[in-house]
Amino acid sequence: MDRDNKNIEKTILRKNSMTQKLLATIGENRLKELWVKYGMYKSAEILSMELQEYVSFSTMRYLSNLKNWKRPVNKLSPLYKGYLAGNVDPSDFKHLIFEEETQNEKSI
């Protein structure tokens, strides 16, 4: 019986998580839009100001991994420069869309 009660409590806690609050109050489309435009750190900061409650950047990371969101890489970032130099493998960054990949997909 104790084990069954613990499982019920965990389920209740998950429904009250920040992830569930964000999905219910803000909506998945708006969350994705903020993440694509600003990344996980800045989007979490913006959401914290909107909700007047702390939103962790790791919550945004979790959502992006859970929903398989993708966004274009910032062309000013060292990551992109490393990619152009051949030092960075794009397969290591599944959430980023590199420009050459986009051009290849359009030509197919």
Per DSSP, the three-state class of 97 is: strand
Beta bridge partner(s), residue 72:
97
* Domain membership of residue 94 as a residue range: 70-108
pLDDT tens digits, 34-85? 999 999 999 999 999 999 999 999 999 999 998 999 999 888 889 899 998 8
pLDDT tens digits, 13-35? 467 788 888 988 999 999 999 99
Number of structural domains (the chain) is 2
Tokens of 64: 């992006």
13 and 58 in a single domain? The answer is yes
Q: How far is the C-alpha of 108 from the C-alpha of 21, rounded, in Å? A: 40
75 and 53 in a single domain? The answer is no
pTM for the complete prediction? 0.72
62 and 11 in a single domain? The answer is yes
8 and 35 in a single domain? The answer is yes
What lies within 8 Å, CB to CB, of 43 at 6+ separation is 31, 34, 35, 37, 60
